[in-house]
Amino acid sequence: MFTQIQPAPRIHFLPPPLPPDYPLLRRHCTPLLNHRRSRTSFRRLRVSNCLNGEGGNASCSQESEESTAGREDGVRRAYPYHEIEPKWQRYWEETKTFRTPDEIDMSKPKFYVLDMFPYPSGAGLHVGHPLGYTATDILARLRRMQGFNVLHPMGWDAFGLPAEQYAIETGTHPKVTTIKNIDRFRSQLKLLGFSYDWDREISTTDTEYYKWTQWIFLQLLKRGLAYQAEVPVNWCPALGTVLANEEVVDGVSERGGHPVIRKPMRQWMLKITAYADRLLEDLNDLDWPESVKEMQRNWIGRSEGAEMQFSVVDIESDLKVTVYTTRPDTIFGATYLVLAPEHVLLSAIVSDAQRKDVEEYREVASRKSDLERTELQKEKTGVFSGCYATNPANGVSIPIWVADYVLGSYGTGAIMAVPAHDTRDHEFALKYNIPICGVVNPENGSLDYFEKAFSGDGTMINSSSTTSGLDINGLSSKDAASRVIEWLEKTGNGMKKVNYKLRDWLFARQRYWGEPIPVIFNDRGECEPISEAELPLTLPELDDFTPTGTGEPPLAKALSWVETIDPTTGGSARRETNTMPQWAGSCWYYLRFMDPKNSNALVDKEKEMYWSPVDVYVGGAEHAVLHLLYARFWHKVLYDIGVVSTKEPFQCVINQGIILGEVQYLAFRDSDGNLVSADVVNDTGNFSQESIPEEKVVKSGDYFVMKDNPNIRLIARAHKMSKSRGNVVNPDDVVLQYGADSLRLYEMFMGPFRDSKTWSTSGIDGVHRFLARVWRLVVGLPSADGKFKSGTVDFEGEPSIEQLRCLHRCINKVTEEIEATRFNTGISAMMEFTNAAYKWEKLPKSIVEEFILLLSPYAPHMAEELWSRLGHSTSLAYEPFPKVNPAYLKESTVILPVQINGKTRGTIQVEKTCTEEDAFELASLDSKLSKFLSGKSIKKRIFVPGKILNIIVLEAPKVKVSQR
Ligand code: ANZ
């Protein structure tokens, strides 16, 4: 389920430029430091041998050679990520650094940050996955350092079609494929250094997990929210199986291209419609993208209107067609009715003369999806039923048509068509020569309704009848609608009605690889839930996953499983052979992460109350509707039965953009083989296309042009990554080539997190260089003899004001930008800091340390390594995240060092124009400084405005206290 990514609207073709003075580094001449020990057994490195210039010991030079040898794999490394990354990953794993204990201090604030868990496909991770995962990881790491209890889990949405299709093709059990794919995904994720609590890993296919999915189903059943109904499915007679929507392409099966028809079958349905209003209302309080909320609102599609009845003419029985309309004001303009082809009344009213045509039309329509039928651009089709109905407003007989632009599943499956005021009806009426009667005039003026439908509100015309006594002429559309509803209710011809587009959720699949539905059918064919004590109802083993050919699901083949005993009567019974859809397991997994091993309850109440709701939920925009809506529905049911304490599961949802393949530059040649500018290329000429390598292209204004001929404009294109285009970038390759920190940093640096962006190898080069610069800043450069010189870190010195300012500007920016999920600009701030730091003669340890902590959420491996080399013996994962001191951000003030007897004892923040008197007063009030001043007499003050205050005090004579 969580795999497909749809393009988002804005696209960044190029990563943001590096700061202008960003130097280029010759990658092959960078140091490769000593890490041999880390390869064999993990032991914390002492800082001394690498930072103090003593790196050239035996093991160091040996390892240097080893690293050099490492280049034989064709990879040039700007710093030894290939050694430090596995080392820290092993450390985090062995020490369970990111484990969120079961028993936690609940007085601390919590932060639950969740990724939409992936479907572990056979293809493994692609570079789109780490985009969201890196963002959530940065947030998780930040909050840990800020003192929060953090829940940051990962799991697998592992039931589903691909594993089953693979099983049909190869005979490999889906369980085997799933385990293999999960193992691959897990190891790929670990390679990227994400701080998941792997002890909480779950898979929707684990029996101990789906036991609770089945339990939820039983609760739904108990409350009448799960029921069975005959519903049309995609039936492929040639394959003898029901197909999922994604297996049907243009009306034929994806496999084999056989015709697929819509056929009613017994299905399980979930009554999500009972929650429509709450699903709509509660959206208002969520911190979600407005576009996602709007999509959910549209999907729920609440509309207000009326149902009204039209009596069928010329039929002996007293048949009435009930229509649903959102424009009761237009009743006088209804010149025909339309029934959906699947409408139940159709066979009763159709005339003998028209029956054959109607039957044929019905058959064709049964092969179309609702989407195809309602596409606005599609030409409207229909047939006359041969029958008429009376418009109750004016007593006029109007024809009843059958047309597939009306859906059986919406409203009443029938409409009053008002061609003057509805574009679909207008198109249909023109095509079939049906009268068009305008009944609404725009505010100022009139229109030619044959020309075009007017669907706006206005003033009513042609809307009065002495037969019915209804007169709405001159009223506004809104008032007219109310008046018509009053009249309908008074005359018994109809009533006010609220409608929803939302349909009940079809909750059954004719598939093997899904959760069994925990019900049986007794010998009278009645459905009974199995007892909760019997859960989990595990999937039976099967060797043959091919369809049964009868439309019955593959589980029907597991006879010894299917045939069971009815516990109430002792008679024979059969198990349900449909399974749950893939959406089921993903509807509630976020709850299980709070308490993944609980065998007595879906989730412990106390834990749920602490961790709910998910604070930040990150995933693709393609899940804006179904997954999020289904999960919200289940959550509300669980809320109603007291299992969860919040009305909504996900307080904040963020959609990451998608990563498109590398930009392709295309040039055009005319028939003579000459290059021509893209702006002169047209459809009529004979032009050929050719791909141009990036190094021959430059940007000129809004366009890309040939470097050696700026008059030749090129076309820049980026495509969604796909195997068939050959533009897929595999994260494993990137990690090998640049390291995980570079990949993480690059994905965050590519552009705004929510926007779509294109992959660029030169872009990743840039961030890799940045990391190498940080490395060299702290660790140092190699000396000519291959030994290592110390870095610029000054272990003793105090930071200067300028350095503190620079650091705090960086802290301020990085913190603000992470909080706002503007990760890319946070990185720019760190680049600026590094540039400044390179210009400093000495780099005080306290400054470097703070910077490393800032960097750590983004590039955790390098940060841990540098932290350890600076003498720390524990991970930095729980070190306090640097806090900004606003004093260092203010430009009108200065930080004045205060010396007491020539020794700097602290600083005070003062206005640049501060006088000696004021400075002295502030120093006396400062808690740190006052202890050096209190009780002492001041001999002298030396004050350099804006620079320093030196206070010479007379030391009080030491008094010896005799001890008796
Ligand atoms: C008369 C009319 C006049 C309409 C007019 C519209 C404009 P929403 O807002 O989507 O709820 N309709 C009703 N049932 C339908 C069905 N099963 N399939 C296709 N169309 C259907 O739209 C409701 C409007 O869509 C209804 O109002 C009906 O057309 C049409 F000037 O009725 B109306």
Q: Is the peptide bond between 536 and the residue preceding it cis, with omega within 30 degrees of 0?
A: yes
Mutate to test the pocket of ligand 1, among 298, 300, 327 (most ligand atoms within 8 A of CB): 327
pLDDT at 578 over 80: yes
Any ligand 1 atom below 6 A from CB of 499:
yes
Any ligand 1 atom below 6 A from CB of 407:
yes
pLDDT at 4 over 60: no
Query: Taking each helix axis from N to C terminus, what angle separates 740-749 and 823-838, rounded to the nearest 10 degrees?
Result: 120
Of 616 and 835, which is predicted with more confidence? Answer: 616
Which protein residue's CA is at the shortest distance from atom 29 of ligand 1?
A: 325
Of 720 and 399, which is predicted with more confidence? Answer: 399
pLDDT at 576 over 60: yes
- What pLDDT score does 328 carry? 98
Any ligand 1 atom below 6 A from CB of 413:
yes
| Reported pTM | 0.80
Cβ–Cβ under 8 Å, residues 385 and 402: yes
Please state the φ and ψ torsions of residue 899, each to the nearest 5 degrees.
-105, 145
Any ligand 1 atom below 6 A from CB of 397:
no
The radius of gyration computed from the CA coordinates of the chain, to the nearest angstrom, equals 36
CA–centroid distance, residue 323 to ligand 1 (Å):
9
- What pLDDT score does 76 carry? 61
SS3 of 134-176: HHHHHHHHHHHHCCCEEECCCEECCCCHHHHHHHHHHCCCHHH
Which protein residue's CA is at the shortest distance from atom 7 of ligand 1?
A: 422
Q: Please, what sign has the CA dihedral across residues 891, 892, 895, 899?
A: positive
CA distances from 657 to 5, 257, 700, 720 (A): 9, 34, 26, 12
Question: Residue 191: how many CA atoms within 13 Å on its side-chain side?
Answer: 21
- What pLDDT score does 237 carry? 83
Taking only the tens place, the pLDDT of each residue in 293-312 is 999 999 999 999 999 999 99
Any ligand 1 atom below 6 A from CB of 155:
no
Location of structure tokens 């889990």: 153
Of 169 and 576, which is predicted with more confidence? Answer: 576
Mutate to test the pocket of ligand 1, among 410, 460, 496 (most ligand atoms within 8 A of CB): 410
Helix (H, G, I), strand (E, B) or coil at 470: coil
- What pLDDT score does 169 carry? 86
- What pLDDT score does 959 carry? 46
3-state DSSP helix/strand/coil % of the chain, to nearest 5 = 35, 20, 40
CA distances from 341 to 111, 401, 575 (A): 52, 9, 35
- What pLDDT score does 790 carry? 55
- What pLDDT score does 786 carry? 53
Averaged over 198-214, what is the pLDDT? 98
Any ligand 1 atom below 6 A from CB of 330:
yes
Q: Please, what sign has the CA dihedral across residues 522, 525, 530, 534?
A: positive
Burial class (CB in 10 A: 0-12, 13-18, 19+), 320: middle
pLDDT at 144 over 60: yes
Which protein residue's CA is at the shortest distance from atom 18 of ligand 1?
A: 406
CA dihedral 789, 794, 796, 801 (to 10 degrees): 170
pLDDT confidence tier of residue 964, bands split at 50, 70 and 90: very low
- What pLDDT score does 760 carry? 87
pLDDT confidence tier of residue 70, bands split at 50, 70 and 90: very low
Alpha carbons 471 and 461: distance in angstroms, whole number: 10
Taking only the tens place, the pLDDT of each residue in 919-960 is 888 888 788 888 888 878 888 999 998 899 999 998 755 544
CA distances from 170 to 166, 177, 546 (A): 6, 11, 11
Which protein residue's CA is at the shortest distance from atom 26 of ligand 1?
A: 325
Taking only the tens place, the pLDDT of each residue in 714-735 is 988 888 887 777 788 899 999 9
With residue 95 as reference, give the H or E element that holds it. helix 81-95
Location of structure tokens 């925009």: 621
Alpha carbons 506 and 584: distance in angstroms, whole number: 11
**Structure tokens that stand for 16 in this block:** 């943001």
- What pLDDT score does 56 carry? 27
CA–centroid distance, residue 310 to ligand 1 (Å):
16
Relative to the CA of 455, which ligand 1 atom is closest? Answer: 31
Of 75 and 703, which is predicted with more confidence? Answer: 703
Any ligand 1 atom below 6 A from CB of 564:
no
- What pLDDT score does 782 carry? 59
CA–centroid distance, residue 225 to ligand 1 (Å):
28
Q: Which of 232-246, 430-444, 672-686 has the lowest mean pLDDT?
A: 232-246
Q: Which of 55-69, 210-224, 787-801 has the lowest mean pLDDT?
A: 55-69
CA–centroid distance, residue 543 to ligand 1 (Å):
50
CA–centroid distance, residue 474 to ligand 1 (Å):
23
Any ligand 1 atom below 6 A from CB of 419:
no
pLDDT at 783 over 90: no
Relative to the CA of 418, which ligand 1 atom is closest? Answer: 3
Any ligand 1 atom below 6 A from CB of 298:
no
Taking only the tens place, the pLDDT of each residue in 507-550 is 988 889 999 999 999 999 999 999 999 999 999 999 888 888 88
Q: Which of 140-154, 312-326, 327-341, 567-581 has the lowest mean pLDDT?
A: 312-326
Which protein residue's CA is at the shortest distance from atom 25 of ligand 1?
A: 325
Of 935 and 558, which is predicted with more confidence? Answer: 558
Of 262 and 768, which is predicted with more confidence? Answer: 768
CA distances from 426 to 134, 250, 262, 405, 457 (A): 52, 27, 29, 12, 17
- What pLDDT score does 224 carry? 98
Any ligand 1 atom below 6 A from CB of 178:
no
Mutate to test the pocket of ligand 1, among 310, 422, 498 (most ligand atoms within 8 A of CB): 422
| pLDDT above 70: percentage of residues in the chain | 90
pLDDT confidence tier of residue 73, bands split at 50, 70 and 90: low
Alpha carbons 31 and 53: distance in angstroms, whole number: 13
Cβ–Cβ under 8 Å, residues 785 and 60: no
- What pLDDT score does 785 carry? 59
Any ligand 1 atom below 6 A from CB of 391:
no
CA–centroid distance, residue 494 to ligand 1 (Å):
16
Angle at 385 between CA 384 and CA 388, to 5 degrees: 100
Q: Which of 607-621, 622-636, 751-765, 875-889 has the lowest mean pLDDT?
A: 751-765
pLDDT confidence tier of residue 58, bands split at 50, 70 and 90: very low
Alpha carbons 624 and 626: distance in angstroms, whole number: 7
- What pLDDT score does 15 carry? 39
- Report DSSP letters for 645-685, one per residue: SSS-SBSBEEEE--EEPPPEEEEEE-TTS-EE-GGG--SSS
Any ligand 1 atom below 6 A from CB of 639:
no
Any ligand 1 atom below 6 A from CB of 121:
no
CA–centroid distance, residue 325 to ligand 1 (Å):
5
Q: Integer distance in angstroms from the first to the last C-alpha of the chain?
A: 82
pLDDT at 193 over 70: yes
Averaged over 499-510, what is the pLDDT? 90
Query: Taking each helix axis from N to C terminus, what angle separates 740-749 and 860-869, rounded to the nearest 10 degrees?
Result: 120
- What pLDDT score does 452 carry? 93
Mean pLDDT, the chain, as a whole number?
Answer: 87
Say how many C-beta atoms besides its own lie within 10 A of residue 380's C-beta. Answer: 19
- What pLDDT score does 781 carry? 66
| pLDDT above 90: percentage of residues in the chain | 65
Any ligand 1 atom below 6 A from CB of 421:
yes
- What pLDDT score does 681 carry? 85
pLDDT at 916 over 70: yes
Location of structure tokens 């068009």: 436
Any ligand 1 atom below 6 A from CB of 67:
no
Which protein residue's CA is at the shortest distance from atom 32 of ligand 1?
A: 325
Residues in the chain: 964
